[in-house]
Structure 1
Amino acid sequence: MRKVVALPVLSADALSSVAYGPEALLAVLVLGGTAGLAYSVPVALAIVLLMLAVGLSYRQTIRAYPRGGGSYIVATDNLGRIPGLVAAAGLMTDYILTVAVSVSSGMAAVTSALPGLSGDVVPIGVLVIAVLLAGNLRGVRQAGALFAAPTYAFITAVVSLVAFGLYDAAGRGFEPVAHPPLHAVEGVGLLLVMRAFASGSTAMTGIEAISNAVPAFKPVAWRNARTTLSWMIGLLIALFAGTVAMVHLEGVVPRSDETVLSQLAHRSFGSGGMYVFTQAATALVLLLAANTAYNDFPRVLFLLARDSHAPRIFLRLGDRLAFSNGIIVLSVAAALVYVAFDGDTATLIPLYAVGVFLAFTLSQSGMVVHWWRGRERHWRKSLGFNATGAVLSALVFITAGITKFTEGAWLAILVVGLFLLATTRIHRHYARVAEALRLRPQQIEIPSRTIAPLAGGESRPAREAGDAGGAEVTGSTEVVGSTGAGSAGAPESTESTGSTGSTESTESTGSTESTRDAEPEESPEEIRHLSVVALDSLHRASMRALAYAASLQQPVLALHVSPSDEDAEEFRADWLLWGDHLPLRIIVSPYRAIVTPLISYVESLHHQRPDLTITVIIPEIVVRHWWHRVLHSRLAGRLRRALRPLPKIVVTTVPFHVPDGRST
């Protein structure tokens, strides 16, 4: 992206927080009455200093991590696995609440202009989340002027509002307008001021978005990212400080039926077109801010799954090249939170601050360790910036955790703890499975003599299977490109199970003449076989599947899908060590799709050699407990459903039972 596009797209989350950050600050101070509101300007100045410090800190992060340095990556690299998981927990809590808070604030902007909708805030908000879910599952992307326009419109609206307000205030010598009479319900003390500081600091959410997305910039990416971050921080400070200044000068206080920004817009613009424009821009930018979480949340889940801390289904891209499973989880979680808190922004804010500043603290602490270890050029200056950011972020996190504990912060802290427990247990399970699957030379007898070679050196079915992949066979392995989508359908099928696995034939049971002609085999002598063994990697389960295929004494073809050329070369190296006596085909699928390339390849085999009965053999990990099943692939079932329309295709699974932890 160019900077002019990247700025609004990646800053939407941070800049839109101006719509609720100042109001969250005032909503706490107003509890102290007139004396409490007197602290609004000093607290706002403290938040501005925090914005500046954290912004400068993330400039150092961009320089150190030019390929993108989110809190999870930085904390894991420099502080270790557990701090990295805690940072991920804070990030994911932040993203869920970004959706809930942005939608609730957007609805508040709408109901301020259209009070008649105030009773339908919850169902309309859930509908908005459903629309975001549907749009992102369809592959909607933040790109170009379409997504840049709402952010620029919001900036224009707030700048105009502040400019008109300051011009009006200048006419009266910047004398503040008296606010309505207030009755204090709490004493003004350090605790109240700290709570206001923690609430107002939520205006900083989304600051790290640019450091996450450095590779999305045009070259030189890291330099353009730093420039864009500087512009974002400058705009955020200007909009936040300007809004708080206008609140002070106009004597505005928070109201339950109208947002602070709406009150300011009414005073500056009346109820005309500019007021409508301000409210519409606010609602749109908040929805865009909610949509940014749909890009970041699934990516964090992807990173966790890549490191075996989350179910591996989150590695998979959907048909529209979006992380569909992560998008669904985010939508469901955000909708539940939104409904549980009745779409009320004020009650959601205490949960928000904890996750945001927990991630900030660990990210900046990780950068301190990074500079200390590397001692690169200007490392002392960078370390100083990051240390300042870490200390201030930790201060806000502790303040929010203590002062807002009973208001809902306890729930955010509990979620972080449960997340840490779940991810470590998942990692432990995957580690146990990996140990059980690890190849041990003294325990493995490599299958051999499974193909009766022709005079040309390779059996006809296997050789022609390789040709069907679109490449000339020059050796025992061949890399071919990813192919298109497979067919779908569900005619009748038969299934049989045995002691070595479960087998389902996709042969139709219909009695029409065309079906009998397509599948004439009624005796064993009429069936000609080719076994295709689908391998994700080489381990004991794979070797058992290869051994099962070899035991059938029919031609065997090994098939592997790799997400990149590098992974393909790594698998090839393993294959040369463990299984080079069998023909191998490798399909490179750069979007991490597994099922579609497999289906397409098997279809190509079937169409080239319709006389063959193709048996697709899949290793299956069998775990002892039901709650572990979601951690493993259901590839066989998906292949069966997709391949049913093709005659003479058999899908069989060869189970590998993983012992539980007590017996290993």
Structure 2
Amino acid sequence: MMNKFKRLLIGRPMKSAEIEGEKLTKLKALAVLSSDALSSVAYGTEQILIVLMAAGFAAVWYSIPISIAVLGLLLILILSYRQTIFAYPTGGGAYIVAKTNLGEPVGLLAGGSLLVDYILTVAVSSSAGTDAITSAIPSLHDHRVLIALIMIVFLTVMNLRGVTESASVLAIPVYLFVIAIFVLILSGIIKFATGGVHAAAPALGTTVSNVSLFLLLKAFSSGCSALTGVEAVSNAIPNFKQPSERNAATTLIMMGTILGAMFIGISLLAYWYGIAPNPKETVVSQIANATFGRGTIYYIIQGITALILFLAANTAYSAFPLLAFMLAKDKFMPRMFMVRGDRLGFSNGIINLGVLSALLVILFQGNTENLIPMYALGVFIPFTLSQLGMMVRWVKLKPPGWRVKFIINTIGMLTTLTIALIFVFTKFTHIWMVFIFLPIVIYIFYQTQRHYHNTAEQLRIDVIRDKPIIKGNTIVVPIAGITQVVKQSIGYAKSVTDNVVAVYVGFNDEEIERMEKKWEEWDPGVRLIVLRSSYRSVLRPLMKFINTVEWKTSATDHITVLIPQFITKHWWQHILHNQTSLVLRAYLFNQKNVVISTFPFHLNK
């Protein structure tokens, strides 16, 4: 039943040889890996306007030079990550760059930040998509958390079905969104040019007395939230068809070009239309309403925008499992993140990402505004470390033309560092959890690696000198009476060794005497040890006896406790049996020199 349901959800298992068929073309990769960056067009301009409105509506004209500055940073990041793709074609992005050039601790800081950012990506994208829906249908506002959780479940299942299948499905809404935004921008420009808009937008260069440099930098840093997701392509190079690095570099440039054009277009329309941020209606919704009215085209744009905001989370579903794989390969995360699932994806990474992001949505009640500062800071830390790592690389290797590359990375590093610091100083109340969570994540990384190193040290053998130690075997069979399962358990034990003892725990003299008499009549050829329990506990006297046997015979024998256990016909019947055996097994797991074995007895009725 469960297996059929699993097949229905994620499809048939795939052979390892089919892995090449799961690689992405440029067009599919653009949809899967750029959905996060492209979707940020829906809220990047809005974040700038929210900050500027603190100085009054007259300050909104600053959104244009700020948007141009954001485009400049986008260009630097695209050029920088293009260099990273060719320098580190195995993927890993900021983690690999920082680890290789700046040292392991800095690499873990970059890797931990990216993991946190990918979790936040899913939470922010699902929350932002819900905001777009509730802007069009205000009656759904109270159900925004449920809507976001449903979408996270959908994306998790889609990605468990495999990279290629999810890319084929998700490519359609991504490209529809690009088309819809360009239609909106062109229609808006035409309407503005023909005098169809009568908004009292402040003129460029209007003097605003209470605008400070700090406010402008804060608005710039908020607008840079539109750049989140730019690094995903460099993290996921192994997902591309060959030549993977060349295809990844082309995809990155395509993404940057489309993102830049859409972002500046939305910013210009927002300024020309005199749009002010509204907590109950997004900026894109207001522009679409002003351009087309609340008709069919408006609802199509809002529907596609909501869909792409949801699907932006898919970028994280592509990048998080790969980064977790690399960290697990370096022994900083559990080995389960290295295992490919039935559909050749890293299923454990996908599932963990879905669960953690869902918890975050519940914790923040789907409030996008509270999540975006943490989201943006989480990506600008790796941005900065990646740029700094590439600077160190150019200085060390000095390849032809390295000075130009060094200057590009230096400008990018200083800019992203400034933005990260602005976030820290201006929105500390929103991002303080990052400074608690990141050290905890890095501590867990080191503890995980330490455990794996200690385990390897204890498991390592000298193949010349270390030979197996041959001992005898003493089998202890706990029994509760004389039954078919006891008969078969003792028969199995005697087939292994002659040193078999059955142990019975009695609570009163009458019970013990009756058991001894029946055992003598049955005479299975095995000695019966009867233990008295004055406090009606089976476990305590049994464990005391096992410990005594182990102490006396450990030098010559292995001690095996053979526990009879019922296997019921129906799953619900299991709770009616085996409670003592489960407790006994749980306790024995902590005994160093005791082997635990279970003898199953299948009930047919």
TM normalised by structure 2 equals: 0.72
Q: Output the CA distance in 2 between the equivalents of 1:131 and 1:645.
A: 41
Structure 1 pair 551–379 and aligned structure 2 pair: CA distance change class (3 A): farther
Residue in structure 2 matched with residue 655 of structure 1 by the alignment: none
CA-to-partner distance for each residue in 1:463-509, whole Å, 9 max, x for gaps? xxxxxxxxxxxxxxxxxxxxxxxxxxxxxxxxx988xxxx99xxxx9
Residue in structure 1 matched with residue 436 of structure 2 by the alignment: 414
Report which stretch shifted further, 424-433 or 336-345: 424-433
Q: How big is the shift at 1:310?
A: 2.2
Report which stretch shifted further, 66-75 or 39-48: 66-75
- Quick one: which of 234, 256, 260 aligns to 2:283? 260
Superposition pairs of residues 560-639 of structure 1, within 5 angstroms? none
Residue in structure 2 matched with residue 378 of structure 1 by the alignment: 401
Q: Output the CA distance in 1 between the equivalents of 2:277 and 2:363.
A: 23
Contact 2:92 2:323 in 1 (8 A): no
- Quick one: which of 193, 214, 236 aligns to 1:213? 236
3-state SS of paired residue (1:310): coil
Residue in structure 1 matched with residue 270 of structure 2 by the alignment: 247
Counterpart residue identity of residue 39, structure 1: Y
Residue in structure 1 matched with residue 546 of structure 2 by the alignment: none
3-state SS of paired residue (2:439): helix
Residue in structure 2 matched with residue 147 of structure 1 by the alignment: 170
CA-to-partner distance for each residue in 1:102-159, whole Å, 9 max, x for gaps? 0111011111111110111122222322333344445575555422111111101110
Indicate yes or no: 2:451 matched with 1:429: yes
Q: How big is the shift at 1:49?
A: 0.5
- Quick one: which of 368, 388, 404 aligns to 2:427? 404
Q: Output the CA distance in 2 between the equivalents of 1:409 and 1:198.
A: 14
3-state SS of paired residue (2:47): helix
Structure 1 pair 521–262 and aligned structure 2 pair: CA distance change class (3 A): same
- Quick one: which of 148, 154, 164 aligns to 1:131? 154
Q: Output the CA distance in 2 between the equivalents of 1:4 and 1:20.
A: 24
Q: Output the CA distance in 1 between the equivalents of 2:95 and 2:47.
A: 28
Superposition pairs of residues 176-187 of structure 1, within 5 angstroms? 177-178=199-200, 187=210
- Quick one: which of 442, 446, 449 aligns to 2:467? 446
Contact 1:362 1:390 in 2 (8 A): yes
3-state SS of paired residue (1:20): helix
Indicate yes or no: 2:248 matched with 1:225: yes
Indicate yes or no: 2:45 matched with 1:22: yes
Q: Output the CA distance in 2 between the equivalents of 1:644 and 1:299.
A: 41
Indicate yes or no: 2:212 matched with 1:189: yes
Structure 1 pair 136–229 and aligned structure 2 pair: CA distance change class (3 A): closer
CA-to-partner distance for each residue in 1:554-577, whole Å, 9 max, x for gaps? xxxxxxxxxxxxxxxxxxxxxxxx
Residue in structure 2 matched with residue 167 of structure 1 by the alignment: 190
Contact 1:194 1:403 in 2 (8 A): no
Structure 1 pair 523–224 and aligned structure 2 pair: CA distance change class (3 A): closer
CA-to-partner distance for each residue in 1:522-575, whole Å, 9 max, x for gaps? 37775699xxxxxxxxxxxxxxxxxx9x988xxxxxxxxxxxxxxxxxxxxxxx
Q: How big is the shift at 1:97?
A: 1.0
CA-to-partner distance for each residue in 1:351-394, whole Å, 9 max, x for gaps? 11111100111112112222222223333332232222222211
Report which stretch shifted further, 83-92 or 430-439: 430-439
Q: How big is the shift at 1:283?
A: 1.5
Q: Output the CA distance in 2 between the equivalents of 1:340 and 1:256.
A: 20
Larger radius of gyration: 2
3-state SS of paired residue (2:278): coil
Residue in structure 1 matched with residue 33 of structure 2 by the alignment: 10
Contact 1:61 1:69 in 2 (8 A): no
Q: Output the CA distance in 1 between the equivalents of 2:468 and 2:272.
A: 83
Structure 1 pair 280–386 and aligned structure 2 pair: CA distance change class (3 A): same
Q: Output the CA distance in 2 between the equivalents of 1:257 and 1:510.
A: 71
Indicate yes or no: 2:180 matched with 1:157: yes
CA-to-partner distance for each residue in 1:602-652, whole Å, 9 max, x for gaps? xxxxxxxxxxxxxxxxxx99799xxxxxxxxxxx99x98xx96999xxxxx
Indicate yes or no: 2:60 matched with 1:37: yes
User: Unpaired runs of 5+ in structure 1?
Assistant: 451-495, 530-547, 553-619, 625-635, 648-664
Report which stretch shifted further, 351-360 or 416-425: 416-425
Residue in structure 2 matched with residue 119 of structure 1 by the alignment: 142
Contact 1:304 1:310 in 2 (8 A): yes
Q: How big is the shift at 1:288?
A: 1.6
Residue in structure 1 matched with residue 316 of structure 2 by the alignment: 293
Contact 2:373 2:427 in 1 (8 A): yes
TM normalised by structure 1 equals: 0.66
Structure 1 pair 419–527 and aligned structure 2 pair: CA distance change class (3 A): closer
Residue in structure 2 matched with residue 62 of structure 1 by the alignment: 85
CA-to-partner distance for each residue in 1:253-278, whole Å, 9 max, x for gaps? 11111111011111112222221221
- Quick one: which of 360, 376, 379 aligns to 1:337? 360
Report which stretch shifted further, 332-341 or 23-32: 332-341
Structure 1 pair 371–135 and aligned structure 2 pair: CA distance change class (3 A): same
Q: Output the CA distance in 1 between the equivalents of 2:79 and 2:328.
A: 31
Counterpart residue identity of residue 398, structure 2: R
Which protein has greater RCO, CA pairs closer than 8 Å, 6+ apart? Answer: 2
Q: Output the CA distance in 1 between the equivalents of 2:76 and 2:600.
A: 60
Structure 1 pair 100–497 and aligned structure 2 pair: CA distance change class (3 A): farther
* Number of residues of Structure 1 aligned to a counterpart in Structure 2: 487
Q: Output the CA distance in 1 between the equivalents of 2:41 and 2:460.
A: 53
Q: CA RMSD in A?
A: 3.8
Q: Output the CA distance in 2 between the equivalents of 1:111 and 1:240.
A: 23
Indicate yes or no: 2:514 matched with 1:522: no
Q: Output the CA distance in 2 between the equivalents of 1:217 and 1:203.
A: 24
Contact 2:235 2:322 in 1 (8 A): no
Counterpart residue identity of residue 80, structure 1: G
Contact 2:92 2:322 in 1 (8 A): no
Structure 1 pair 264–175 and aligned structure 2 pair: CA distance change class (3 A): closer
- Quick one: which of 250, 255, 258 aligns to 1:235? 258
Q: Output the CA distance in 1 between the equivalents of 2:54 and 2:41.
A: 21
Residue in structure 2 matched with residue 543 of structure 1 by the alignment: none
Structure 1 pair 350–330 and aligned structure 2 pair: CA distance change class (3 A): same
Q: Output the CA distance in 2 between the equivalents of 1:115 and 1:292.
A: 28
Q: Output the CA distance in 1 between the equivalents of 2:245 and 2:335.
A: 31
Contact 1:99 1:289 in 2 (8 A): yes
Q: How big is the shift at 1:47?
A: 0.7
Counterpart residue identity of residue 351, structure 1: M
Same amino acid, percent of matched pairs: 42
Q: Output the CA distance in 1 between the equivalents of 2:489 and 2:442.
A: 57
Q: Output the CA distance in 2 between the equivalents of 1:510 and 1:113.
A: 69
Structure in which a larger fraction of residues adopt helix: 2
Residue in structure 2 matched with residue 479 of structure 1 by the alignment: none
Residue in structure 1 matched with residue 73 of structure 2 by the alignment: 50
Q: How big is the shift at 1:171?
A: 1.4
3-state SS of paired residue (1:254): coil
Structure 1 pair 186–283 and aligned structure 2 pair: CA distance change class (3 A): farther
Structure 1 pair 522–437 and aligned structure 2 pair: CA distance change class (3 A): closer
User: Unpaired runs of 5+ in structure 2?
Assistant: 1-23, 203-207, 499-553, 559-587
